[in-house]
A and B are shown apart, each in its own frame.
Chain A
């Protein structure tokens, strides 16, 4: 007697056998002691699994998950906050550099800062530019440092 493959019997047992083979398989299992035993063993395994421990999930499962999410997310969002703070700070830095450079050129053109021509910077202008640039950098760093605090505060209020 040719038996169906274990795979085919599994499909039949779990209701996954294609319609065109289902009837023939079912008929075979009905008549074949060995295949019927296979099906009984499957039932036994299912029963053993069903009669296992209490399936009820923990009552506070959802709250636990949400608490864990709350604990995980700030670490992740903090990274995003830093990224968001870096962008305006970087832009401020670039804009400040441009403003100092352009301002210096204007001052030179107006003759307010002596000894400057294209490509050559006087000590006075260099000092002025560096001081202004320093201010911009400090401003950017302060913004960067305060951004997460401001963000957290704003969320705390909302």
Chain B
């Protein structure tokens, strides 16, 4: 008796069949570029997804950890982000951009949505375009780097980073991760490069302020 079957693979198959199993003559998935992998993921290829996940889990997790400041939160976001990558793989349009910024965009949106949900009742004060009490140039002030000589100070800076508005922290964390160029961050966030660099600079000024430098100092 023939059974009624659909051309839709069921996920339970994925969990048990993660071992690498490339047919002879087919290039190993680990060496394939992201664009090929995402096409395979769109066709529900669990091996391709595994390679893509292993390729990006660490850098994406590091970024999420620095955006959220809590490991549990970052783990939750990582899981949600890669679930979305799997489910949305078919909608990735290679003509509109590369896979890496696309993955980061998903991770970033996951974090943003969650943060927005958690803060939805809190008043939001936008610093963008508004006047912000940031320091002006003054060579006589001690530089930020002068207070970053030891690990304690670096830790203080990391804490200060967490207090920055999300849109300022994002660009600093993303660029300092050394995983994405400004162009790729622009692609991931939909923000022009010039704006991103300006935000980065504003973040630096805000950090000086938060670390105790009185207004009037800094570049």
| A→B interface (CB under 8 Å) | 3, 6-7, 10-11, 14, 16, 33-35, 37-38, 40-58, 61-70, 72-74, 76-77, 80-81, 84, 147, 150-151, 153-155, 157-158
Contact = CB atoms under 8 A, between A and B. Distances in A.
B interface, size bucket: 35 or more
B143 interface: yes
B175 interface: yes
Chain A interface mostly? helix
B78 A58 contact: yes
Interface of B: 3-6, 8, 10-12, 14-15, 18, 46, 50, 53-54, 57-58, 61-62, 65-66, 71, 75, 78-80, 82-83, 86-87, 137, 139, 143-145, 148, 151, 154-155, 157-158, 161, 172-173, 175-178, 181-182, 194, 197-198, 200-201, 204, 207-208, 219
A66 B219 contact: no
Contacts of A3: 219
Given A6-B219, A45-B172, A151 B6 contact: yes
Contacts of A68: 79-80, 83
Given A45-B161, A61-B82, A154-B3, 20 more contacts: A3-B219, A7-B201, A34-B137, A41-B145, A41-B148, A47-B154, A49-B66, A49-B172, A51-B154, A52-B66, A55-B58, A55-B65, A57-B78, A62-B18, A65-B82, A69-B14, A70-B10, A70-B14, A77-B6, A153-B3
Contacts of B54: 62
Contact of A40 (B145, B182, B194, B208): B145
